[in-house]
Amino acid sequence: MKKIALAENVYWVGAVDWISRDFHGYSINGTTYNAFLIIDEKITLIDTVKKPYKSELLHRIRNIIDPEKIDYLVVNHVEMDHSGCLPEIVEAIRPEKIICSKMGHKALLQHFHQPDWPYHVVSGGEEISLGKRTLSFLETRMLHWPDSMFTYLKEDQILFTSDAFGEHLATSERFDDEVEQGVLMHEATKYYANILNLYSPLVKKLLAKVEELQLPIRMLAPDHGVVWRSNPGRIIEAYGRWCNQQGNGKALVIYDTMWESTRTMAKAVCEGLHDVGVEYKLIDLQVTHRSDAMTDILESSGFVLGSPTLNNGILPRMADFLMYMRGLKPANMVAASFGSYGWSGEAVKMMNEIIKELDVVLCHPGVKVQYVPGHEQLGQCVELGRTVGRAVQALMAGEKVESAA
């Protein structure tokens, strides 16, 4: 087995999961569980892997060194895809120290109920010497769990970033310069949109803190996906854009339909967007996963939601998407809604209520049509699209957009 080195005596010893297709409701095409081994006077393992991949982790470690020679075990994040095999690994290596944050210590106790493990709780800025190398630590609470922290390998300028700067990407390659760049950035975008977007204010503070510390960063080594060794600045710049909710001036029309009326309305809304020169994308939730729609929302500046009324409510796929989107908290956008109905017509009002919970501007009260839209009603949908398009343009120009709420 080939050893995969990030630097001299710093190795990737994680596992590739080619099987997983779902991560808490987010569609993925596999992932990796990254762990890293540092050979020094104090041999250190940074993070572990999901429980079914314990043997793969140990096999990779044994290819480099006897696991029992490991002195320190760093736990950057207690979520089970990184710590599921921790009891077995602790038993196998019997570390001198299990290094974690204060909240990490609490989480480890609550997950594994092992008060006698050799915990060593570190604070932000604290350093630990490994011999020729030095580790320091940066607490990153709620990115994306309370226990999260980064570990910095000072001499090699490698920042081990837990669940930040990663991708759910199963690949035979381990570094950013070895994979197709379009695929890499798409997966990084999807990862941020579906995991970190609601924590954008904290990401903004984190980036400011890293800049304040003036850490020279040669590599970013996340717990999922590839290691950024050639261009770590690219993903840092992208996080700066995403956490500031900087849209691209485009709009999305996201809908579901029963008997084609709402689809016909959706196409008319798109015509209105086109009329005022706003680029759009039409997204049918019957064929688009919620997490892919959320990925498009991350870099857009506006969205329009469409659903017919079913049983005095919203179609299930749209209701599913709304609950998912509400939790991820998109911001700095404009929005509106539309839909057809047979006799009660609550869907538009219900979609508007959820839009009003978000940090976005409801720029139009919405359009609802009974049964099948005719020429006049489709004209109303076109005008809805124009209104949203003009609101997007105003937003991009830094102008205030009036709310229709």
pLDDT of 256 strictly over 90: yes
pLDDT-based confidence at 259, cuts 50/70/90?
very high
Tell me the three state secondary structure of residue 112: helix
Please, what is the average pLDDT of the chain? Answer: 96
What is d(CA 274, CA 157) in angstroms, rounded to the nearest whole number?
48
Q: What is the mean pLDDT of residues 128-144?
A: 94
Q: What pLDDT, on a 0 to 100 scale, did the predictor assign at position 22?
A: 94
Q: What pLDDT, on a 0 to 100 scale, did the predictor assign at position 220?
A: 98
Q: What pLDDT, on a 0 to 100 scale, did the predictor assign at position 355?
A: 97
Amino acid at 388: V
- Using a 10 angstrom Cβ sphere, with 0-12 exposed, 13-18 middle and 19 or more buried, the burial of residue 212 is exposed
Q: What pLDDT, on a 0 to 100 scale, did the predictor assign at position 373?
A: 97
Q: What pLDDT, on a 0 to 100 scale, did the predictor assign at position 62?
A: 97
- E strand or H helix at 88: helix 86-93
What is d(CA 279, CA 249) in angstroms, rounded to the nearest whole number?
8
Residues acting as catalytic residues: 24, 77, 79, 81, 144, 163, 191, 224
Q: What pLDDT, on a 0 to 100 scale, did the predictor assign at position 381?
A: 98
pLDDT of 297 strictly over 80: yes
% of the chain at pLDDT higher than 90: 95
% of the chain at pLDDT higher than 70: 100
Q: What is the mean pLDDT of residues 24-39?
A: 96
What is d(CA 395, CA 324) in angstroms, rounded to the nearest whole number?
25
Domains and CATH numbers, the chain: 4-243 (3.60.15.10), 251-392 (3.40.50.360)
Q: What pLDDT, on a 0 to 100 scale, did the predictor assign at position 145?
A: 85
Distance of CA 27 to the CA centre of its chain: 12
Q: What is the mean pLDDT of residues 373-400?
A: 97
Residue pLDDT, tens place only, 140-153: 988 888 899 999 99
What is d(CA 103, CA 274) in angstroms, rounded to the nearest whole number?
50
pLDDT of 43 strictly over 80: yes
Instruction: Determine contact, residues 215/159, Cβ cutoff 8 Å.
Output: yes
Q: Per mean pLDDT, which range of 169-173, 212-216, 380-384 is the poorest?
A: 212-216
Q: What pLDDT, on a 0 to 100 scale, did the predictor assign at position 391?
A: 98
As given in the structure block, the two tokens for residue 118 are: 């050799």
Q: What is the mean pLDDT of residues 166-191?
A: 97
Q: What is the mean pLDDT of residues 244-267?
A: 96
pLDDT of 155 strictly over 80: yes
Q: What is the mean pLDDT of residues 224-239?
A: 96
What is d(CA 132, CA 145) in angstroms, rounded to the nearest whole number?
32
- DSSP characters for 354-382? HHHHSEEEE-S--EEEESS--HHHHHHHH
Q: What pLDDT, on a 0 to 100 scale, did the predictor assign at position 144?
A: 85
pLDDT of 19 strictly over 80: yes
Q: What pLDDT, on a 0 to 100 scale, did the predictor assign at position 1?
A: 83
Q: What is the mean pLDDT of residues 255-274?
A: 98
Pinpoint the alpha helices (H) of 142-245: 181-191, 200-213, 232-243
Q: What is the number of other CB atoms lying within 10 angstroms of the CB of residue 353?
A: 13
Q: What pLDDT, on a 0 to 100 scale, did the predictor assign at position 405?
A: 77
pLDDT-based confidence at 354, cuts 50/70/90?
very high
Could you tell me which residues are beta bridge partners of residue 284? 255
Q: What is the mean pLDDT of residues 273-284?
A: 98
Q: What pLDDT, on a 0 to 100 scale, did the predictor assign at position 380?
A: 98
pLDDT of 119 strictly over 80: yes
What is d(CA 26, CA 190) in angstroms, rounded to the nearest whole number?
9
Q: What pLDDT, on a 0 to 100 scale, did the predictor assign at position 330?
A: 96
